[in-house]
Each structure stands twice: as C-alpha cells, then as structure tokens.
Structure 1
C-alpha cells in the first residue's frame, strides 16, 4: 500500500475552500484555477478553458462522470464558474469556463491578464478532442492545525445536518437547506440541533393536528429560518379507545 502514498504529484485543495463550496467542488475549482493560469485562450479580457466532460473526466479518474458533472454544474449554478461559447463552429456547443474570483472573495490572480512563467496552455480541440490538462500542480502544502480544524468543523456540521434532515418530513431542497443550516450554525455557538429538534417536534405536532389541510413546507424553506415560527399546538390528549363529542 505504500506506493499509494504521494508517489505522484498530489491533488491539492485548501480546507477553507472545501468548507465554502464543498469538497468535490473545491477540487474542481482548484484544478480549473491551475489550468486557467496556463491558458492562452483570452476572450473579452479573461482567460478561459474548455473541454468535453469525457475528457475532463480523464483528469479526475477517481470520480464517475456523473459525479464530475454534478460538481461542475453546481459551481455554475452557484456562480463560481462562468460559462460562455466562443467556438468557431456554430454546431459546437462545448462550454468555455472561467472562475468568478470575486465570488470567492479573491482578487483576480495577477496572471489572469498576462503571461505566466509556468507551462504554456495548449489550445484545446473541438468537442471530441482533448486539451493539455493532464499536468497537476507539482507542489505540496502543509496541513496546519487551523486547516485541519476547519475540515473537522465542516464534517461535524454535515453530520449534524444529516441528523436533523433525516427527521424532517418534507425532503425537498436539501442543498439549499444545508446552506441555510450551515450559515445559521456559524452565526452563534448557541445555535444547535437541540433547539432545532425541539422546534421540529412542535412543528410535527402542528402538522399532525392539521393534516386535513396543511402540507409540510419544503425543507429548504423550513431551514431558512422558518424553524423559529410559532404554532398553535393543542396539548390536550385523547383518552385511549374513546371519542369525544362536541355536540348533542
């Protein structure tokens, strides 16, 4: 097993970036950033890279194609990746990509509009071709206690979210729900699952007592602060085996 331990240039990712966008997405962003720095494809003042998903996937052999597509599509939807079509052939729908560094609270790298001293990017071919993107960063990074703590905190928040999510009755909008949950947890050390479980118990009682007309709100909605809502919940218990009349 020893030959699996850093016997080739390693993939790198900053734990703080993984906390911000997710681990798979952070790996994609880091690699796109590396390739963008070496790209000669400049359009509208920005450097771009492009390739087909099957060829992208060759650079991430540890993922299935669908996993890679989800990561890239998620980064597009969240605004971290900007896409365009600069293909000369009208039928060629290959997407071109660049990173919105402002979205990451980063200034644009100094190499974005100028030449680099590193390996030059070879222009890609069309949809069925390949690009020279197989070179990974040949540097190492020290894993500090601070970064390790960031990863551990993210892992803890994820597991805590899964715990409360599994108990929520309407599982729609999980990704948005997690983003809301994560932001809420970071606002205060007092924000915990104990509070959410207490609120969820009351909410479930309200749902049960109004099931004839009330539908549980989507998870993405409830986790967006709606867990603070107050509901009129009856605490009166029915006696087992007996129905009560309200009229004569």
Structure 2
C-alpha cells in the first residue's frame, strides 16, 4: 500500500504549464520555469489547492498553498510556501524541518527542529532525515534537521507540507482523523442510524471513544458528507 493511500490522502494534478512565472520571495526575484497545480483531499484537514514551481536553473522547488480548508489556523497557511533545494545527495532535494504551531494570540508560527525526537514519526518512518551539514556540505550555527525527498516526487513534497504545516495545528490528532472515511462508510452501512448506534459501532469496530467519534462526526458534517436529522445521522446522497 502506498504511503498516500495509507494516510488516506488524495493528490491529483489538474494543470501543468511548461513555462510560467512566479516571485521567489527567498531570492526576491521573478523566476521562470514549470508550474503544476494539484488538488488535494486530506482526510484530516480537508481540501487544498497547491501550486508547484520548479526552478531547474536554481535547482529548487517551491510548494505553495493557494487554497486551504476553513479554520483560523489553516486560513493563515494560504499563500505560504515550503522550499525544497538541491543538496549534495544525487537525486534528492531537502527541506529544513519545521512544525507549525499557534501562539497565544492564535497567530501561526513555526518551530525549526534540531532534535530527532521532535520529528513526527510519519516522517522518520517514510523519509530520510539527517542533519543539515550532512545533506548540504555546509556548516551553519546551531543544529538543524532536514528531510530528503526525491527531486521529482512532487506529491511527496505536498505531503511533507501537510505533515509539517497543517497537521500540527489540526484540532484532530492524525491517528484519529485518518479514521474519518471508516466512520463515513459505517454510517452508510447503517443507513439511517441513531447517534448511540454509531457510538457503539465505532467503539466496537474502530476502537473510537465517544469524544473522538464526535470530533469525526463534526468533521464529516462540516465537509457536507453527513446530515443530522433530530436523533439520527445519515449520509448525504
């Protein structure tokens, strides 16, 4: 099973331009190259639209979130980018690992990681993680960790954006959110079901407690895939 299927993420390319322009803010320059657009449905966070800007001359790829799901944290990710650059390992680009968080005033922030224990397990289990100097051959003050991605694997770059930028600010833990489609399938099988019946079946089949089931029901209702009818819940046709 592929990683995307395992994580229940769908990524579909919807447009490709062999030549287009964008502003690279890190270089403060107008750049030219190939551009691709991808629609994404992430079980945990919702629907996204990404723009991939490939700068072959500078050997770098920019992942930019054009449209994000609703929510204070996600809205602040709109227009944000993630940069992948060529290092010294042939066939790979690297990204400096940093995780999003919300500060006391609900403003989006990022924390650059320097401790392997802080790196999400899903990254450590599925990607190469190493120190900045090892990946680039350059020395910097302090210790930073990077994650490597195959240079042409744009879907994995988008996935790394979601894991580092979106998942940390989701109100639903990833291991719970990935069961949303299972719960939706259960509701379809039950047809018109009482809420208590859903609680019991979710606990029995997916080991989901009432609180986690409620979180997923709210997520599915927000997405418009289920509807509540007094004491009943059913899927939308």
Q: What TM-score, normalized to structure 1?
A: 0.26
Q: What TM-score, normalized to structure 2?
A: 0.27
**Greater fraction of residues in strand:** 2
Greater relative contact order structure (CA < 8 Å, 6+ sep) = 1
**Greater fraction of residues in helix:** 1
